[in-house]
Structure formats: structure tokens, C-alpha cells
Amino acid sequence: MAEILKVLKGTKDILPQDINMWQFVEKKANEIFSTYGFKEIRTPIIEVTELFSRGVGDTTDIVNKEMYTFDKSDRSITLRPENTAGVVRSYIENGMSRLSAPVKLWYKGPMFRYERPQAGRQRQFHQVGVEMFGIKQATADAEVILAAVSFLKSLGLNDLDVEINSLGCPVCREDFKNRLKAVLKPYFEELCDDCKNRYEKNPLRLLDCKVDSCKKIFEKPEIQQVINSDFICDECNNHYTELKLYLDKMGIKYCENKLLVRGLDYYNRTVFEIKSNNLGSQNAVCGGGRYDNLVAQLGGEPTPAVGFAMGMERLISLMEKQESKKLDGYIVSNYTVDALIFAEELRNQGLSVEFDLTNKKFTKQLEKASKVAKYAFILGEDEVSNNQVSIKNLEQGTQIKVDRANCVKMLEL
């Protein structure tokens, strides 16, 4: 028999049993981004290599180490490692700057990076993202972040952390870069090889280094002082303050992270990431920011722009984790009829509830409840005769007794 061939390392089949989740995410992307006025664009998977060396930046890991590049009829061609550069190329090539601003585009599809495969990191993976062209005001940054958060909510992902930072503009950043280089100089020999390279070419990227010995160096007080200094100019600062005001007004919780610099060269002013505590070390589901210089860098008229990209595999893995989450409640009772009726009452109010169908011992039921549910609803003799329920919060161990009619109101779900 012939040898069986296997899927390439770092790539995966999406099988029929998993396709529902993918189709759901794609449908939600279309639905939600449409409500913000984004239209879908599909650009080719192959582009000329120069698009990425110029667009993503030749000091980045993506361009230096991670691109799938090959030659065909004397042209160097690359499988797209991300889609912003391709969308910008298409925006310029198709004269979209003539359309009235903002031009809002969204995309989905496979990206290719030659990285070390591990949980949450593949060589062919999928991104969904948006790009907004033509608006320099922070309203655009806020709207893009809002679209990201709404989309995540529509997937049932509410428990995520938004981190923001401002990288300033090329002018104010220059001064910051020089100060950073000066304060890091005494430690140059201790930096990892990547950081030694970045030191001259792109010192901001040092802050993004994942190597422990480098991270230790950045903790030194004199370096922290530079990192935490407010280096951005007044204009950039106003833009950043405005963005924070909009996010506050919209009730979007965020955290400011001075170490957030992002792996791509094209960003200026706003950068943001959305992270989850449930993904292990590859914890970012979304990365984005403003890139006011990219359109000009790729030969177009100077046009401000802002966007983000999300990793679809990471979104789906979070959704799967969420799905297997605990029941809202488990009824603990030896009064089967009461349990049966009360479970149905709670389900009618939207809770997920189960109870022991075989009427095991009370303590056994309580053990089961703590494994499968957030709350135990206890119907003992007292509770049954007074039409009450004891609610035990199984994470915190606290317990209260209330009238059954008030049960749902008392829960934090």
C-alpha cells in the first residue's frame, strides 16, 4: 500500500464536525461589522514580497523570519502573513481614496507564518479583521474598538481584557527611542540576539520581547522611569485622552499598558490588544491600532487609518471553553417533586439547571453540585415547608435563604 500522507506541521483540517462554529463566527462577523458600515473585501493570498517588506516592516519578526516566500517568473512572491498590507494595496490600486471617508472594510481568511507551532499558534491560521480609512480623529479608533468588542460579545465572549497604549507620532517617538536606547545601553551585552538587532533598527520593539532575561532588564527602575514617562506630544496626548473619554462614555473597560507596542512597524498613536485569561501563553485574540503612514508608505496619498485583526482559531477555542462551562445551578434535594417543579421554574427564567434524577444522598448531591454548577439550590425540609430555597454560591462558599420567587434576582450570573 502507498504511504499515507499527512497534513503539514502547523496546519489543520477544519472537519465537518467543527464547521458549525466557523460558519457561526463568519456569519456574526458579517452581521456585526455590517451594522458599523464595514463592507467585506477579499484580497489574494499571494502578493509581491515587497508589499510586506515595505508594509509590515523589515525589522519585524514576521518579515525577517516568518514569511513563506518563493520565486516565480522572476518575481518574489509571498503568502500573506497578515491582511492589512493587502487591503491597503487594494485601497490604493482601486482608487478608494476617491470615495467619501470613512472607507470601512472587513476581511476574513487564511494567513501564513512560518513560526514554531504550539497551542494557539499555527503556520496557516485564520484572521478576521477590519480597516477604516480616512479619519484621523479618535472617534474612528473608538468605533473600531467598539466594533471589536461588539463582535466578541456576539460570540458570547464577554470576559476579555482590553489593553490600550499610545505610541505617539514619528516626531515625539524619536525622542523616546533615543532616551530608551541611552538607558538600555549599559545592558546591551545582556540583551537577547533579537533585541540586540532591534536596538538600532527599532528600539520600541524591545519592550515587546518575550525573553525572560530581557523582561528582567526592563524592570530596572531607571528603565521603568523612561518607559512610564509621558513622552507623547500634546497633539498625540489629546488624541489619546479623547479616545479614553469615548471608551469611558461607552462603558468599555480597558487597561493602559505602556509595554504594549505591537509586533508590526506600521502603527502610530493608538495600539490595542484584547486578551483572555483562558488561553494560556498565546493569550491575545485581537491586535490593532492606528497606522496613519502606511497608505503613503505603499505609494498612496497620505491617508489616516485604523484597524484590527483577530485570530479565529483562538476565538473558537475560547468559545469551546465557554461552552463546556458550568451549569448555572444544581438542585440539591430529596424532595423530588419540588426539585422537578423548581428546576422547570428556573429554566423558564433562562437558567441552565439540573437536579439528581435518582434521589441520591444529600451529601452526594452537594458534591455533584460543586463539580458541575455555579450555585447549589438546596431544598431541605425547612425550605420545602416555607416555599423557600437556600442558595449556596459554590465558588465563594456563601449561603443565603430566600423565597423561591426571589431566587433568580439574588444570583450573580
- Is 285 one of the binding residues for ligand ATP (CB under 6 A)? yes
Q: Is 59 in the site for ligand ATP (CB under 6 A)?
A: no
Nearer to ligand ATP, 78 or 122 (CB): 122
Q: Which of 115, 161, 242, 345 binds ligand ATP (CB under 6 A)?
A: 115
Q: What does the block give as the cell for 369?
A: 453540585
Write each residue from 287 to 316 as x if it is in contact with ligand ATP (CB under 6 A), else as -, in one continuous string.
Answer: x---------------------xxx-xx--
CB 217 within 8 A of CB 191: yes
Nearer to ligand ATP, 162 or 285 (CB): 285
| DSSP states along 54-68 | IIIITTSHHHHHS--
The sheet carrying 399-403 orders its strands as 353-355, 327-333, 373-379, 388-393, 399-403
**77, 114, 121, 327: which one binds ligand ATP (CB under 6 A):** 121
Residue choice 127, 293, 317, 333 for contact with ligand ATP (CB under 6 A): 127
Is 284 a binding residue for ligand ATP by CB under 6 A? The answer is: yes
198 binds ligand ATP (CB under 6 A): no
* CB atoms closer than 10 angstroms to residue 147: 22
The answer to the question of residue 90 lying near ligand ATP (CB under 6 A) is no
Residue nearer to ligand ATP on the CB measure, 49 or 237: 49
Among candidate residues 268, 412, 285, the one with its CA nearest the CA of residue 351: 412
And the C-alpha cell for 56? 509590515
CB of 251 to ligand ATP, least distance (A): 23
Q: Which of residues 131-160 bind ligand ATP (CB under 6 A)?
A: none
CB 163 within 8 A of CB 254: yes
**28 versus 113: smaller Cβ distance to ligand ATP:** 113
For residues 163 and 256, is the Cβ–Cβ distance under 8 A?
yes
279 binds ligand ATP (CB under 6 A): no
Segment contacting ligand ATP (CB under 6 A): 114-122, 146-154, 222-230, 316-324?
114-122
Residue 252, SS3 per DSSP? coil
Listed residue (389, 380, 305) closest to 89, CA to CA: 305
> Of the listed pieces 85-93, 279-287, 322-330, 376-384, which binds ligand ATP according to CB under 6 A?
279-287
Task: For residue 108, give the DSSP letter.
Answer: E
Listed as own residue / partner, the contacts of 335-338 with beta carbons closer than 8 Å and 24 or more positions apart are: 335/379, 335/384, 338/379, 338/384
Q: Which phi and psi (to 5°) does residue 348 adopt?
A: -65, -25
Check binding of 263 to ligand ATP (CB under 6 A).
Answer: yes
C-beta of 120: minimal distance to ligand ATP in Å? 6
Q: Does 82 bind ligand ATP (CB under 6 A)?
A: yes
Q: Could you tell me the smallest distance in angstroms from the CB atom of residue 215 to ligand ATP?
A: 14
Going through 84-194 in order, the beta strands assigned E by DSSP cover 103-112, 124-133, 161-166
Sequence-distant (6+) residues with CB within 8 A of 27 are none
Where does this chain bind ligand ATP (CB under 6 A)?
82, 113, 115, 120-122, 125, 127, 263, 282, 284-287, 309-311, 313-314
